[in-house]
Amino acid sequence: MDELERIRARKMQELMRRKSQAAGRYMPDSPIEVTDNDFESLIQEYPLLVVDCWATWCGPCRMLAPVIDDLARDYAGRVVFGKLDVDENPRTAMNFGIMSVPTLLVIKDGKLVGQIVGAVPRDYIESKLREHM
């Protein structure tokens, strides 16, 4: 059942992306799924994107997940948050030299401008975001 929900969510995201391209930019209020296949297009689509590189087996990643969800909602319209499972998407993880999870990639205008490693407090993430807003 979980796999079916993931497929539905992925299809809905793709539908929303297509709709946003036709009617202006869509700025989601929850984290979007990021994959090796769509990483490059997403960093071009969103001016400020924070990608949470995580793994299902990672305890600190699970601790950080609700913080990322809250930040996505609170910063909707200004920052887009994405989630990249490093086990399912090794190419992107390798391209950025990710050796530890969780790692947050801060990407502005298609360029990596910051990296946050570890399950850090929300205040710390927000201070890093303010540097790029």
User: Active-site positions?
Assistant: 58, 61
Neighbours of 36 (CB within 10 A): 15
Q: Is the distance from CB of 54 to CB of 61 less than 8 angstroms?
A: yes
Chain centroid to CA 93: how far?
Answer: 13
- Give the tokens for residue 43: 């960093």
Map tokens 């400020």 to a residue: 48
